[in-house]
């Protein structure tokens, strides 16, 4: 299983990097809608929307929402920074509320478990994810900035997995995700230090270690919140994975859960006079 997981991860990385650096920002932003639509399909399945037609309608509503937001932002000619910040601030705030729900599970389920609420959350969170991606891409060195954001999430995940397997003892959220440990969380943060050291080789003239840490660590923390949130939704629904399209990984949502929470925080920090 681990070998299959690694092979799939390598293939996903190759495809992602090829798309990111070969496509103009506008084309990449549109192409990524395919992954967003797959995520919406899986979300609809997890929350109990049965049948192909209702799920396709759900995807249609999501795409219409994204289209409306894109027009409001000025896409594809550009992205209005102040408007993007407004959306990103709402996203970051919603994820902070979700963190409280995770802390209060299972009692908190009364607030978010009704299907209409979960359906609305799926639309909002996937829209926020797309906005975060586009708002980063349309900045100077946008492709590299987006890659850094993805690397933060990947390293938090990989570090958490490796250290958690080796030394994990203390459960972070035993009811929501028994496999998550505080040791794994610490391991993910240690892996961020490696990223900081690497980035300082390229941007040391513009950034201090303190400033770079102030960007990376909050994003890594939010990626864990995204992971725990999807685990909470799946546990409530009684499913193990969001799908099976990615061998060894599960579904699209199983791979982008951390990204969904982390990228809005990352994009907001970049738009708040924080530049690499």
pLDDT digits (tens, 9 = 90+) for 30-62: 999 999 999 999 999 999 999 999 999 999 999
pLDDT of residue 245: 85
Distance (Å, whole) CA 163 – CA 190: 10
pLDDT at 1: 64
If pLDDT is split at 50, 70 and 90, which confidence band does 209 have? confident
Q: Do 244 and 138 touch, CB atoms closer than 8 A? A: no
The answer to whether position 80 is within a domain reads: yes
Task: Give, in order, the Cα–Cα distances in Å from 63 to each of 23, 87, 104, 118.
Answer: 21, 17, 32, 17
Q: What is the pLDDT of residue 45?
A: 94
Question: Is residue 204 very low, low, confident or very high in pLDDT (cuts 50, 70, 90)?
Answer: low
Q: What is the mean pLDDT of residues 84-101?
A: 97
pLDDT in tens, 121-151: 999 999 999 999 999 999 999 999 999 999 9
Q: Please report the pLDDT score of residue 6 as a whole number.
A: 85
Asked whether residue 59 is assigned to any structural domain, the reply reads yes
Output the pLDDT for position 70. 97
Does a structural domain hold residue 276? no
Question: Looking at the domain assignment, is residue 22 inside a domain?
Answer: yes
pLDDT at 276 over 60: no
With respect to residue 170, please indicate whether it lies within any of the assigned structural domains: yes
Q: Residue 228: pLDDT above 60?
A: yes
Identify any residues that bridge with 162 across adjacent strands, giving them in sequence order: none
Q: Which residues is 88 bridged to in the sheet?
A: none
- The values of phi and psi at residue 169, to 5°, are -130, -40
> Could you give the number of structural domains in the chain?
1
Q: DSSP letter for 129, please.
A: H
Establish if 255 belongs to a structural domain.
Answer: yes
Can you say whether the dihedral through the CA atoms of 245, 33, 116, 121 is positive or negative? Answer: positive
pTM summary value:
0.94
Q: Label residue 196 by pLDDT band (50, 70, 90).
A: confident
Asked if residue 243 has pLDDT above 90, the reply is no
Percent of the chain at pLDDT exceeding 90: 67
Q: Report the pLDDT value the prediction gives residue 206, as an integer from 0 to 100.
A: 66
Q: Which domain holds residue 40?
A: 2-271
What is d(CA 76, CA 30) in angstroms, rounded to the nearest whole number?
Answer: 10
């Amino acid at each position: 299983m681990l070998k299959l997981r690694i092979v799939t991860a390598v293939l996903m990385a190759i495809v992602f990097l090829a798309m990111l650096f070969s496509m103009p920002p506008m084309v990449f932003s549109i192409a990524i809608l395919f992954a967003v639509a797959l995520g919406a399909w899986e979300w609809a399945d997890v929350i109990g929307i049965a049948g192909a037609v209702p799920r396709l309608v759900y995807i249609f509503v999501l795409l219409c929402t994204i289209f409306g937001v894109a027009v409001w932002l000025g896409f594809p000619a550009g992205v209005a920074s102040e408007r993007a910040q407004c959306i990103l601030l709402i996203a970051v705030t919603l994820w902070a509320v979700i963190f409280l729900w995770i802390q209060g599970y299972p009692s908190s389920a009364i607030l978010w478990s009704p299907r209409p609420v979960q359906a609305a959350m799926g639309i909002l969170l996937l829209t926020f994810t797309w906005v975060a991606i586009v708002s980063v891409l349309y900045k100077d060195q946008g492709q590299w900035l987006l890659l850094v954001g993805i690397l933060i999430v990947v390293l938090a995940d990989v570090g958490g997995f490796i250290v958690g397997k080796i030394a994990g003892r203390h459960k972070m959220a035993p009811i929501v995700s028994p496999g998550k440990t505080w040791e794994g969380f610490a391991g993910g943060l240690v892996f961020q230090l490696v990223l900081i050291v690497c980035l300082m080789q390229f941007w040391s003239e513009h950034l201090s270690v303190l400033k770079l840490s102030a960007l990376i660590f909050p994003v890594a923390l939010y990626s864990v919140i995204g992971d725990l949130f999807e685990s909470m939704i799946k546990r409530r629904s009684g499913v193990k994975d969001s799908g099976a399209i990615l061998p060894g990984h599960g579904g699209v949502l199983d791979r982008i859960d951390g990204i969904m929470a982390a990228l809005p925080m990352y994009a907001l920090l970049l738009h708040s006079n924080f530049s690499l």
